[in-house]
């Protein structure tokens, strides 16, 4: 540690909190440069060899990635190693490979130039996707493309094995290949210019249990090797050259956070019951079969949202009914006797699928375009494969099905009609399924919220997707940096819409849960419960904080908070009340 770490001016940068914790140490600046490519025309007699050279590089790259995957599985575990499945799939992508060869045959430019041109087109397409998870696939393609190009050029890939002492890694991005060389004993934290909460850097940081902040834009251009920094993975803050007073303050914060985390984990072993004896159902949002272990680890009372679209991504063919059945069956059996809510395919214009790119055209406004239930009702063959798989899985646990992006009763009735057709087909095949399978609708479009009494005639439960509902109610594109500050869950329109929805639904004996981000935020959870929400579903690691708060409050106080919020006119006022409620109950010695 330097004698005076504050000798240079302190700089505070806000990013995205990615992996919890606080780290203090020196910068290791890791800048992975793109390869420099030659560009030339291949002579006719050498063109056959050029294609063979491309095929050899594909084989070599596959072997390298498989080796890295084995190292990661040994050092970090099988879950982290699965990251590289996506990389291997890129190398098997017949569209990418075929387009490269066709580009070479048409232009006769060297294969590096052709591959770089085609892969860049794919990277650009995924970079522009609004969905955070899907956008990360651009990093997969970029990582594989750089490795391929180095192999074609006979260059050795750089890695992070240079981390010879304890440092905080700063990089534009940290790819899975980069992360494979990291010595866990030497990495204090990670900071990246790009990335999101679902980026590979985040997955690795969480696995290594080190603090991480991503999305700090061009910070790698403003720091130097050896600079002293604080990484705050709780609030997403990076402080360059912290002053002595800042160091002292963060020392106190770290101790307080560690004490709080210990309390949260202790509370997570207890039932989610308020001080006045009201049971609260806390459920999990998952998207992969192997996340069943997380549901159990965090004591969730079932799965409130299983996002099935991730079974479709990166596949060369649509997943078969049998493949889907195996996935749904594994989840249903693994979660039993608790329920599993399986959401039908929620993909569309802004979320391309490798297996069905021809079915989705470019749209001016994809968020309101041809997606989710709209796509399924037009492509009933795909929809029916999924519904039959869900029905069959229902004989192996407490399965429920839920339709996304329902805007009115006609869509809901049509979806149910297709479901009935699937039931008839399964009966004809002698297949077993739950004849009383519960059907639900996601409330994420204002028209659905306003017609909940009509929708109630066609389903038995509602789940509120607050992320989209807020976006549509306030006409705010939540991924647009210029207006993201206007995305306010505490807006009176949101609170009033939720109350109206809950009142109507309960009058019809329809339970209402929330599976959007509000559910996992301990500041908003009491407000939702006070409004009358019956269950909260969230990413598993968020459960301890919400469970702790539930056990530290009374439902009567939550109801009073909700009633007061309904009288307020400013989002900031409502948030302040919710925050004060939270802080009064989360105390750290």
18 & 106 share domain: no
Looking at residue 485, its pLDDT comes to 60
Is the distance from CB of 250 to CB of 242 less than 8 angstroms?
yes
Place of tokens 């009935």: 420
- Domain end: 128, 153, 178, which one? 153
pLDDT of residue 358: 45
Do the domain assignments include residue 66? yes
* Residue 62 located in a structural domain: yes
Q: Look at the alpha carbons of 404, 407, 412, 418 in this order and tell me if their dihedral is positive or negative.
A: negative
Q: What is the CATH number of the domain that holds 100?
A: 1.10.274.10
Q: What is the CATH number of the domain that holds 187?
A: 3.50.30.10
**Regions of the chain short of the pLDDT cut 70:** 1-7, 32-34, 72, 74-77, 79-80, 129-136, 156-164, 176-181, 184, 196-201, 203-204, 207, 313-316, 347-370, 477-486, 587-589
Other CB atoms within 10 Å distance of the CB of residue 289: 17
123 & 172 share domain: no
Query: CA 502, 508, 514: angle at the middle one, nearest 5?
Result: 35
Rounded CA separation 503/22 (Å): 43
432, part of any domain:
no
- Return the closest-CA partner of residue 148 out of 66, 54, 83, 84: 54
Task: Give the domain-ending residue among 106, 121, 153.
Answer: 153
Tell me if residue 408 falls in helix, strand or coil. coil
pLDDT at 477: 67
219 and 170 both lie in a single domain: yes
Please tell me whether residues 22 and 89 are part of one structural domain.
no
Whether residue 233 sits in one domain with residue 185: yes
Per the domain annotation, does 390 fall within a domain? Answer: no
Domain shared by 62 and 19, yes or no: no
With 0.85 as the threshold, say if the pTM is over it. no
Residue 4 belongs to a domain: no
Q: Is the peptide bond before 337 cis (omega within 30 degrees of 0)?
A: yes
| pLDDT value at residue 9 | 84
For residues 505-541, one letter each, b for 16 or more C-beta atoms within 10 angstroms of the residue's C-beta and e for the rest, the string is beeeebbbbbbbbbbbbbbbbbbbbbbbbbbbbbbbe
Shared domain for 22 and 171, answered yes or no, is yes
Q: Which residues are part of the catalytic machinery?
A: 200, 515
> From the centroid of its chain, how far is CA 64?
28
Count other Cβ atoms within 10 Å, centred on residue 168.
27
Q: Is 448 inside any structural domain?
A: no
* Residue 346 confidence (pLDDT): 85
* b/e map 257-275, b = 16+ CB within 10 Å: beebbebbeebbeeebebe
60 and 148 in a single domain? The answer is yes
- pLDDT for residue 54: 93
**Of the candidates 89, 123, 153, which is a domain's last residue?**
153
Tally the domains of the chain: 2
Do 15 and 48 lie in one domain? The reply is: no
Boundaries of domain holding 126: 44-153
Q: Are residues 114 and 170 in the same domain?
A: no
- pLDDT of the residue at 370: 54
CB 207 within 8 A of CB 233: no
The answer to whether position 187 is within a domain reads yes
Same domain? 110 vs 146: yes
**Residue 339, both tokens:** 């329920």
So what's the pLDDT on residue 172?
84
Q: Are residues 81 and 139 located together in one domain of the fold?
A: yes
């Amino acid at each position: 540690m330097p004698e005076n770490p504050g000798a240079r001016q302190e700089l505070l940068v806000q990013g995205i909190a990615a992996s919890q914790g606080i780290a203090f140490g020196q910068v290791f600046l890791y800048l992975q440069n793109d390869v420099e490519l030659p560009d030339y025309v291949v002579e006719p007699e050498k063109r056959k060899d050029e294609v063979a050279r491309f095929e050899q590089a594909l084989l070599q790259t596959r072997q390298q990635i498989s080796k890295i995957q084995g190292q990661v599985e040994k050092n970090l575990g099988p879950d982290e190693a699965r990251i590289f499945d996506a990389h291997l799939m890129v190398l098997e992508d017949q569209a990418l490979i075929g387009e490269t060869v066709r580009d070479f045959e048409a232009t006769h430019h060297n294969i590096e130039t052709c591959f770089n041109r085609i892969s860049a087109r794919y990277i650009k397409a995924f970079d522009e996707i609004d969905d955070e998870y899907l956008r990360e696939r651009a990093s997969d393609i970029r990582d594989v493309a750089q490795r391929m190009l180095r192999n074609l050029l006979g260059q050795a890939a750089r890695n992070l094995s240079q981390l010879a002492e304890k440092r905080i890694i700063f990089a534009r991005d940290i790819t899975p290949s980069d992360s494979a060389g990291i010595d866990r004993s030497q990495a204090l934290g990670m900071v990246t210019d790009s990335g999101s909460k679902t980026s590979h850097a985040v997955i690795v940081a969480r696995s290594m249990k080190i603090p991480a902040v991503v999305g700090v834009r061009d910070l790698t251009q403003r720091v130097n090797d050896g600079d002293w920094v604080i990484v705050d993975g709780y609030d997403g803050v990076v402080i360059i050259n912290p002053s002595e007073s800042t160091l002292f303050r963060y020392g106190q914060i770290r101790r307080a956070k560690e004490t709080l985390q210990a309390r949260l984990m202790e509370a997570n072993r207890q039932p989610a019951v308020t001080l006045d004896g009201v049971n609260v159902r806390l459920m999990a949002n998952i998207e992969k079969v192997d996340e069943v272990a997380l549901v159990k680890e965090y004591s969730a009372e079932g799965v409130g949202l299983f996002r099935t679209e991730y079974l479709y991504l990166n596949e060369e063919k649509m997943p078969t009914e049998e493949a889907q059945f195996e996935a749904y069956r594994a989840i249903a059996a693994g979660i039993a006797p608790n329920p599993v809510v399986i959401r039908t395919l929620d993909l569309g214009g802004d979320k391309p699928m490798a297996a069905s790119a021809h079915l989705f055209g470019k749209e001016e406004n994809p968020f309101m375009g041809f997606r989710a239930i709209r796509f399924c009702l037009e492509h009933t063959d795909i929809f029916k494969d999924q519904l039959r798989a869900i029905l069959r899985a229902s004989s192996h646990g407490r399965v429920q099905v839920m339709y996304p992006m329902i805007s009115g009763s006609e869509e809901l009735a049509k979806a149910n009609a297709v479901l009935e057709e699937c039931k008839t087909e399964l009966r004809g095949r002698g297949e077993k399924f739950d004849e009383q399978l519960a059907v639900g609708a996601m409330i994420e479009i204002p028209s659905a919220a306003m017609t909940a009494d009509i929708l109630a005639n066609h389903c038995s439960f509602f789940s509120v997707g607050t992320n989209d509902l807020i976006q549509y109610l306030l006409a705010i594109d939540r991924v647009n940096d210029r207006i993201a500050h206007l995305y306010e869950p505490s807006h009176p329109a949101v609170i009033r819409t939720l109350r109206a929805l809950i009142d109507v639904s309960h009058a019809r004996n329809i339970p209402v849960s929330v599976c959007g981000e509000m559910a996992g935020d301990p500041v908003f959870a009491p407000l939702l419960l006070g409004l009358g929400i019956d269950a909260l579903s969230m990413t598993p690691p968020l459960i301890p904080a919400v469970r702790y708060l539930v056990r530290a409050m009374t439902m009567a106080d939550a109801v009073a908070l909700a009633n007061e919020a309904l009288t307020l006119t400013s989002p900031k006022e409502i948030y302040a009340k919710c925050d004060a409620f939270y802080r009064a109950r989360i105390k750290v010695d």
